[in-house]
Structure 1
């Protein structure tokens, strides 16, 4: 690993979200100068306490706003992404996952910014992705890696968990609202949840590591589970007595059709299609980062409930990756 050169001037897009807030704290510990781009700085005052952090109000949908956000920057991190779109034709996904990375790369080239770290997703595949989400994530990944003159590293995490996540916390909230029986679509879909702290650490360690240039890294936790195992565990960690009933394929599709019309889209056809492919890595956590990934059992009980549920989840585990 080449010597690290601190500090950098880093602009983080999507820095006010779940992963972004954890990553900013990790980068602040390394004394980088940080710039976070947002349309509503007042909503994110909690981040302003971080040293060397600048909150910039900008409209990144305009070329001028993007150029202003990148003034004086030498590293860019793109965390911008959506799990659902307002429509159902894929255009919303394309605007966020493909068009924005393309404009970001063009802006980086015009500013002479040499380094870009990009958030993709496990299963991203422009040609064979099973959903709009996966295909557009793959297209965006290809866009940034095809940019000559920029040293790009992209990350493909499985579902990311940790305090404030939208996976375990979301299911916990849905379980609270559904007393008795909880119908679960795609119960046998498999995931290898990865801890947000490990994702943030991988980003931090990649910035100055020349061996990561041009690479695409899959990030997974140490074990794989079915969705039903994870939801049952969520109920127990939250101290909720619920019977999780897995739906067959027909009923899973029907649930997606109904729930994508509910405000907030708790589940959509595109989500259903994404879960037709297992969300697990082909290998262990990339050795280059020197990280031993944290398990679900060691982290989730600290923010979902008081009781330690590790033993139960180990018993539920069907198999490791």
Structure 2
């Protein structure tokens, strides 16, 4: 079945923007659903992209906007719960509702973003609800061609991980780090986007679940050291034990901007590491963190400032 009209939930975010750009370049007609159209203004100039405001938790609104769609990509997820959005509502109920709508409307293709480490017995609500969302989708696999992707942390220009810690490293004389030995296998956002787009019409990926991870495993401490190396800034790192990690997260939950929560700490009890390489069917060779990080963090160090000065002076 030839697919041409693709609807992307969460298409204006960090990962979604990369996927939407690749879909647009491939000639798909893309509809991006967002709570606030203004938040997706960076997509307005893409010739094949339409941005539509929609409350995706509203069954009737979502049902209406999905009519005539050939395939749906769901990228919506949250790292922190709030008064207006819970892990269960976003990670479990939304995918379940979305799958039911696709089945009712005859939409045969659905791709879901989950998370590496998601499991019904995982220590965190984040990971347990991600697993519940996967289960809800798999219950309708006889009616929909579903593919589930489970990435480790995703890095790239505009991410909320490496860029956040780059800022903290510049501002703080000492970095006090929760769960310093937690393990991650970061994957570049462009590689993730390629996996999604390459799988869209590949029947071999139907009914499959894929772990997405880069070529190298790092501890949390090693990731920060890598960021420091790119910035040419060295800071002492004080690693916290489990008890102090929870205390730090509890304090951070009361900050105006949530940087860390106790549930995040629980998620880090499970190593975000893949047990399998990227399968050949996805046609992606993952890029190394060391090769990509300088491309967007270099502007934050002294050399980057010098290069910008030279560029502005046309020298």
- Same-fold status (TM-score > 0.5): yes
Structure 2 Cα separation of the partners of residues 290 and 72 of structure 1: 29
Is the aligned partner of 1:84 residue 2:80?
yes
* Shift, 1:238, TM fit: 2.4
* Distance in 1 (alpha carbons) for counterparts of 2:117 and 2:39: 32
For 1:25 and 1:282, the matched residues in 2 are separated by 30
Supply the distance in 2 between the matched residues of 1:241 and 1:261 (Cα, whole angstroms).
Answer: 29
For 2:236, what is the secondary structure of its paired residue?
strand
Query: Equivalents in 1 of 2:109, 2:15: separation in Å?
Result: 20
Q: Deviations over 1:7-53 (max 9, x none)?
A: 51000000010000000011111100000011221232210111211
Name structure 1 gaps, 5 residues minimum. 308-321
* Structure 1 ranges of 4+ moved more than 4 A: none
Aligned to 1:141: 134
One of 21, 24, 36 as aligned partner of 1:25: 21
1:1-321 map, 5 Å: 5=2, 8-86=4-82, 92-126=86-120, 128-147=121-140, 148-178=142-172, 180-305=173-298
1:245 is paired with a residue whose SS is strand
C-alpha distance after superposition, 1:135-162 (max 9, x if no partner)? 0000001111111300100000000011
| C-alpha distance in structure 1 between counterparts of 2:269 and 2:119, whole Å | 14
**Distance in structure 2 (CA, Å) of the matches to 1:43 and 1:133:** 25
Unaligned runs of at least 5 residues, structure 2 = 302-315
1:218·1:286 contact (CA, 8 Å) conserved in 2?
no
Alignment partners' CA distance in 2, 1:223 and 1:192 = 6
Distance (whole Å) between structure 2 residues aligned to residue 82 and residue 43 of structure 1: 16
Q: Contact 1:153–1:214 at 8 Å: present in 2 too?
A: yes
The alignment yields a C-alpha RMSD, in angstroms, of 1.8
Q: Is contact 2:198-2:283 (8 Å) kept?
A: no
**Aligned residue pairs, count:** 300
Q: Deviations over 1:45-97 (max 9, x none)?
A: 2101112111112222222210122021010000000011126xxx8100100
Deviates more, 1:237-246 or 1:110-119: 237-246
CA distance in 1: counterparts of 2:177 and 2:34, whole angstroms: 35
The alignment's TM-score, normalised by the length of structure 2, stands at 0.91
